[in-house]
Chains A and B, each alone.
Chain A
């Protein structure tokens, strides 16, 4: 499996909607453990709602799209991660992921 960055810009109107999406994402992800593994996400302030930058491991970009379709998540862009460079640990999240 390769690691990918997924951009979901302005995907939801509110944090609540995003929360529901996260629940769907987890549920569907559990049904395809060999195809996608959700690693982490950063929630983006978009002015008129929120978006995310998600890090996933996946068997292919198509697996990411299949997961997104089944969980009703938008996919703007998928980029493959060549390498990970951690300089400092993440600051604590403002809200815990569900």
Chain B
């Protein structure tokens, strides 16, 4: 067997990480680079190791790798908890093929592993995890998790190839040039021997297999069509006569023993052999395996072999069941694949069966973001339901279609589908489906900010749901009504309805609706600039989501915005940056981009329009006010701060009509403000948000006070600056609002910014003062570093500097000097706690 070359450093790294305790290590590298060999070498040194593998299937078995290691099927967080409790080393191979439920387990493991006894190593093909690959999302989310590490396995160097090739008399240079140092490719070539080098991995593998006798090759071929591993009992069924060749095959190194069966040394080899089979032979082999598996195989395997064998009856028997099982395990991508598979073979099915498959597929497609496919399937199902005049199904399907149309921004079609669904369902005995249809209409209205209608339909849904005792839809209806009330400016009423929705969802133990209510409360109050309340609910929402392993991206994006509007630009930009790194859904990205754009514009930093251009691009398809209104407000502001009055007006007009139409107090208010500021608007409607109303009426003092009441220091300062009030400068400089401060100074004929160092006692910088305050409080440097979110070394520097400037030899001396300074400076200093407040997470 080949010795491991050039892996000492990586092995040492893995050993060191093992010593640190609870870690999840992602080992990445291209196919064949040697990840498995590395991890196995590590495992040998680590004692007892459990190993689970992911299958290279379009729809692998849900939770496959975890079932492999003896964990019982359950909710992802339960499985993760069990794995963490068990401790020890767990190896998960090829997680780029992991199903949705397994990825959820990985997420939980990543978040909870630090401080546990478990050590998990997950290998994956990093070159395949690009774009919107599900693992990429998981890696992004776990990027800042304390226990998660990523290491990469590099290719072999020329020296390493030489060390392998020379003993066999092979041409190391030629091999290295061909393989680029891919370990698997190198070993395949060397094993095949021969003078001519194969051109590809496939050729190398096939050359090696060609060295075996005919019976052995037949055995290899069977093993090649079974993903992951071929159990011995299975081989006994399928190729009883060739089984005596097993030892020879094992010796040849083409396959190796794997638990209760055998497998190819590498998936690349398996695929090479499988692809070399003639189609009819491959089909026949799959048929034989399907036959042998009978009812022993799991559903995913059966469905897979059934399709490959072209066995219509088997596909229709197994794929739908596999789909249901995957859906129940929350592996929705896999469920969609199974239903799609069944549909491919369903032409001869009776139409009610086909319709059922289409409906199920459409549901899974919707859950996994395949909106176009979902709509298509629903429309096909709809046609079938209409053909047999199944009015209930027609009504329900139309209602579900509405959702998909809405996600796609096909609002006209969403409207039509919704109206028809309600018409039909109202003509039938009242039930849950009618209540749902009302709620779906309410959702569409809420999204379009047709607030009055949103409230009306939401309440209809509540009444209909209460009639049939359906608490879920009741909660949903209250949610929609409450949100619409808030968006209409009736904030207190809206909050009441949403709190009721929250309570009902909580009683029913419905996590998704609980989170939805908290989310609407937080983001809705944020949109209505009730920032303190918004922040409270957003934090509650985030905490709830994390405690229940739901993924709170949107509330975080909104929290970033709230930070920005409350004047905490560092926190806002930092959180927005985090969201951008981990989030793929457009809605969250738009919010995060607006936060970044506003901060950059207000600071005069580069990149404001980079962020806002992307935000606009993402907002246009949906055409919703809550994106366009927000984006255009931010863009108008950014344009103004670069001194372009014409552009300011242009940007504001981009959403002004829409904001007026929907009577949005805040977007109409801000967009009107920017036009007014640029001299292009005389009057705005009286109903716009109070601070803007007051400012446009000419009452800057009260307008600024109104902004302060909302917790917006920048907008308050801006209002005063607009009125030429020098008092605004202090706040603007404190916030770091360079463009506005410079503009105000220019218009007042003032010179440069004030020097922050000059005012301070003993010539200490503000930061040094903070550190001194904590030293005086008795803190050690490490604690100070934690408190101020600095590195310990930076704090060490500061403490030395402080001692020097004060002429103090010890911390105690410095502390007493601090107290002297405090007394002398009176009100300016406050107590140590005031000077150095704890950092916000």
Q: In angstroms, how far is the closest chain B Cβ from the Cβ of A85? A: 19
Closest residue of chain A to B753 (Cβ to Cβ) is A76
Contact A62 B794 (CB under 8 A): no
Closest residue of chain B to A4 (Cβ to Cβ) is B606
Task: Say yes or no for B127: interface residue by CB 8 A criterion.
Answer: no
In the assembled complex, the Cα of A2 lies from the Cα of B577 at a distance in Å of 16
Contact A72 B573 (CB under 8 A): no
Contact A78 B794 (CB under 8 A): no
Could you mark each residue 779-809 of chain B with 1 if its beta carbon is under 8 Å from any beta carbon of chain A, else 0?
A: 0000000000111011001100100000000
Q: Looking at the complex, which one of A17, A28, A71, A79 makes contact with B606 (CB distance below 8 Å)?
A: A79
In the assembled complex, the Cα of A72 lies from the Cα of B790 at a distance in Å of 9
Known A31-B791, A72-B794: A61·B570 in contact at CB below 8 Å: no
Which residues of B lie under 8 Å from residue A31 when comparing CB positions? 791
Closest residue of chain B to A75 (Cβ to Cβ) is B736
Task: Say yes or no for A97: interface residue by CB 8 A criterion.
Answer: no
Could you mark each residue 63-77 of chain A with 1 if its beta carbon is under 8 Å from any beta carbon of chain B, else 0?
A: 001100111100011
Known A78-B605, A78-B606: A60·B577 in contact at CB below 8 Å: yes
> Apart from A10-B755, A70-B789, A78-B605, what 15 extra A-B contacts exist at CB < 8 Å?
A2-B606, A4-B606, A17-B801, A20-B797, A27-B797, A28-B791, A28-B794, A60-B577, A61-B600, A62-B577, A62-B605, A65-B570, A66-B570, A71-B794, A78-B606
From residue 34 to 85 of chain A, which have CB atoms closer than 8 A to chain B? 60-62, 65-66, 69-72, 76-80
Contact A80 B606 (CB under 8 A): yes
Contact B738 A80 (CB under 8 A): no
Number of A-B residue pairs at CB separation under 8 A: 57
Known A62-B577, A78-B606: A69·B570 in contact at CB below 8 Å: yes
From residue 720 to 750 of chain B, which have CB atoms closer than 8 A to chain A? 738
Contact A61 B606 (CB under 8 A): yes
Task: Say yes or no for B297: interface residue by CB 8 A criterion.
Answer: no
Q: Which 7 A-B pairs have the closest CB atoms?
A: A80-B606, A61-B605, A62-B573, A72-B767, A27-B793, A78-B605, A24-B797
Q: In angstroms, how far is the closest chain B Cβ from the Cβ of A7? A: 11
Contact B738 A77 (CB under 8 A): yes
Q: In angstroms, how far is the closest chain A Cβ from the Cβ of B98? A: 26
Task: Say yes or no for A1: interface residue by CB 8 A criterion.
Answer: no
Which residues of A lie under 8 Å from residue B600 when comparing CB positions? 61
Residue from B577, B605, B789 with most neighbouring chain A CB atoms (10 Å) = B605
Could you mark each residue 559-588 of chain B with 1 if its beta carbon is under 8 Å from any beta carbon of chain A, else 0?
A: 000000000001001100100000000000
A–B pairs, 14, beta carbons within 8 Å: A10-B755, A13-B757, A13-B763, A23-B797, A28-B791, A62-B573, A62-B605, A66-B574, A70-B789, A71-B794, A72-B794, A76-B738, A77-B738, A80-B607
Q: Looking at the complex, which one of A2, A71, A72 makes contact with B765 (CB distance below 8 Å)?
A: A72
In the assembled complex, the Cα of A76 lies from the Cα of B596 at a distance in Å of 19
Residue from B574, B738, B794, B798 with most neighbouring chain A CB atoms (10 Å) = B794
Q: Which residues of B contact A (CB under 8 A)?
A: 570, 573-574, 577, 596, 599-600, 603-607, 738, 753, 755, 757, 763, 765, 767, 789-791, 793-794, 797-798, 801
Which residues of A lie under 8 Å from residue B753 when comparing CB positions? 76
Q: In angstroms, how far is the closest chain A Cβ from the Cβ of B777? A: 19
Which residues of B lie under 8 Å from residue A79 when comparing CB positions? 606
In the assembled complex, the Cα of A66 lies from the Cα of B600 at a distance in Å of 14
Which residues of B lie under 8 Å from residue A78 when comparing CB positions? 605-606
Q: Which residues of A contact B (CB under 8 A)?
A: 2, 4, 10, 13, 17, 20, 23-24, 27-28, 31, 60-62, 65-66, 69-72, 76-80
Residue from B577, B603, B606 with most neighbouring chain A CB atoms (10 Å) = B606
Which residues of A lie under 8 Å from residue B798 when comparing CB positions? 72
In the assembled complex, the Cα of A4 lies from the Cα of B753 at a distance in Å of 22
Known A13-B763, A65-B570, A66-B574: A27·B606 in contact at CB below 8 Å: no
Closest residue of chain B to A69 (Cβ to Cβ) is B570
In the assembled complex, the Cα of A22 lies from the Cα of B525 at a distance in Å of 45
Q: In angstroms, how far is the closest chain B Cβ from the Cβ of A75? A: 8
Known A13-B763, A20-B797: A61·B791 in contact at CB below 8 Å: no
In the assembled complex, the Cα of A90 lies from the Cα of B790 at a distance in Å of 34
Known A13-B763, A69-B570: A60·B607 in contact at CB below 8 Å: yes
Known A4-B606, A71-B794: A62·B801 in contact at CB below 8 Å: no
In the assembled complex, the Cα of A77 lies from the Cα of B801 at a distance in Å of 26
In the assembled complex, the Cα of A51 lies from the Cα of B233 at a distance in Å of 78
Closest residue of chain B to A5 (Cβ to Cβ) is B606
Closest residue of chain A to B738 (Cβ to Cβ) is A77
In the assembled complex, the Cα of A12 lies from the Cα of B801 at a distance in Å of 13
Q: In angstroms, how far is the closest chain A Cβ from the Cβ of B631? A: 19
Which residues of B lie under 8 Å from residue A65 when comparing CB positions? 570, 573, 605
Which residues of A lie under 8 Å from residue B793 when comparing CB positions? 24, 27
Which residues of A lie under 8 Å from residue B596 when comparing CB positions? 62
Closest residue of chain B to A74 (Cβ to Cβ) is B756
In the assembled complex, the Cα of A24 lies from the Cα of B793 at a distance in Å of 8
In the assembled complex, the Cα of A66 lies from the Cα of B571 at a distance in Å of 10
Which residues of A lie under 8 Å from residue B757 when comparing CB positions? 13
Q: In angstroms, how far is the closest chain B Cβ from the Cβ of A54? A: 15
In the assembled complex, the Cα of A59 lies from the Cα of B607 at a distance in Å of 11
Which residues of A lie under 8 Å from residue B738 when comparing CB positions? 76-77
Q: In angstroms, how far is the closest chain A Cβ from the Cβ of B771? A: 9
Residue from A10, A17, A72 with most neighbouring chain B CB atoms (10 Å) = A72
Q: In angstroms, how far is the closest chain B Cβ from the Cβ of A78? A: 5
In the assembled complex, the Cα of A80 lies from the Cα of B767 at a distance in Å of 27
Which residues of A lie under 8 Å from residue B755 when comparing CB positions? 10
Which residues of A lie under 8 Å from residue B767 when comparing CB positions? 72
Q: Looking at the complex, which one of A2, A62, A70 makes contact with B790 (CB distance below 8 Å)?
A: A70
In the assembled complex, the Cα of A4 lies from the Cα of B607 at a distance in Å of 11
Which residues of B lie under 8 Å from residue A4 when comparing CB positions? 606
Which residues of B lie under 8 Å from residue A80 when comparing CB positions? 606-607
Q: In angstroms, how far is the closest chain B Cβ from the Cβ of A62? A: 4
In the assembled complex, the Cα of A10 lies from the Cα of B765 at a distance in Å of 13
In the assembled complex, the Cα of A24 lies from the Cα of B606 at a distance in Å of 25
Contact B794 A70 (CB under 8 A): yes
In the assembled complex, the Cα of A30 lies from the Cα of B570 at a distance in Å of 21
In the assembled complex, the Cα of A20 lies from the Cα of B577 at a distance in Å of 30
Closest residue of chain A to B766 (Cβ to Cβ) is A72
